[in-house]
Structure 1
Amino acid sequence: MEIYSYQNDKLEASPEDIFAVINDDEQLKNIFSILKGIEYNTKGKRSKGTKFRITLGVRNKTYRFRNEITEYVDNKRIVMKTMLKQGVITTLFNVEPAGDYSELTVKSSIESGMGVRVFAMTVKPVVKSVMNKEMKKLEEAVTAEN
């Protein structure tokens, strides 16, 4: 079940420039005010199998999540799984050329099931509100350099 979807096919930056931001922890922490920390459990930071914890601060609450990168294509795509007690969230970050622009897609979905459906329907509006603001800041950051 989808809990977040974002797509912009008119970003005025190269796919490589956009991916460089998405792929850089420090830039992400500077852009995403909800991202408080990233701790790696593996030597590699960006490759298939990388395991890490992220700490998020959302609406005066702190959340920690265990994550694993399940797919990594340099300058194009990162897919990661986030383990929650309610289920597993799969998030895709994908960048592609789109004529004179670049297209950025971000999608998150959670394994479906009755308990998960209630959870997803509850968190979806909060996730959408928070992430749309954060993605706007990401758009501004990647296009400011051009």
Structure 2
Amino acid sequence: MEVYSYRSDQLAASPKEVFQIVNDDEQLKKIFTILKDIEYSTKGKRSKGAKFRITLGVRNKTYRFRNEITEYVENEKIVMKTKLKQGVITTLFSVEPKGAGSELSVQSSIESSMGVRMFIMTVKPVVKSVMNKEMKKFEAAVISEN
């Protein structure tokens, strides 16, 4: 079941330029105001098998999630799994060349069961609202860097 989906098909930067920001934790924390901390439990930061915990601050609440990168293709895509008590969310972040710029996509989904379905229906509008604002800031940061 889809949790979040975002697509920008006219980003004025190359995939390499987009990934320069994606691969910089400090820059991500400046852009995504909900992202408070990233703690790695593995040596590699952006590689298959990298494990980390993120801390998010959303609407005066703090959330911590365990994550693992399950696929990483430099300047192209990252797939990660996020463990919640409701299940595992798979998120795909991909960037493809498009003309002089790039197409950026983010998709998150969770395996559905009745309990998860109700949970997602409840949080999906909040996730969409918060993440769309954050992704617009990400796009603006990518453009201003280039």
**TM exceeds 0.5?**
yes
Count of matched residue positions in the alignment of Structure 1 and Structure 2: 146
Match of 1:100 in 2: 100
Residues 78-112 of structure 1, C-alpha deviation per residue, up to 9 Å, x if partnerless?
00000000010001110010112200000111111
SS at match of 1:42: coil
Match of 1:109 in 2: 109
Root-mean-square deviation over aligned CA pairs:
0.7
Unaligned runs of 5+ in 2: none
Match of 1:81 in 2: 81
Alignment partners' CA distance in 2, 1:113 and 1:20: 37
Alignment partners' CA distance in 1, 2:4 and 2:80: 14
Match of 2:28 in 1: 28
Identity among equivalent pairs (%): 77
Q: Which runs of 4+ in 1 moved over 6 A?
A: none
Alignment partners' CA distance in 2, 1:111 and 1:28: 27
Alignment partners' CA distance in 1, 2:101 and 2:75: 15
SS at match of 2:37: strand
Alignment partners' CA distance in 2, 1:8 and 1:109: 19
Match of 2:45 in 1: 45
Residues 59-81 of structure 1, C-alpha deviation per residue, up to 9 Å, x if partnerless?
00000000000000011100000
- Code of the aligned partner of 1:11: L
* TM-score where L is the length of structure 1: 0.98
- Code of the aligned partner of 1:42: T
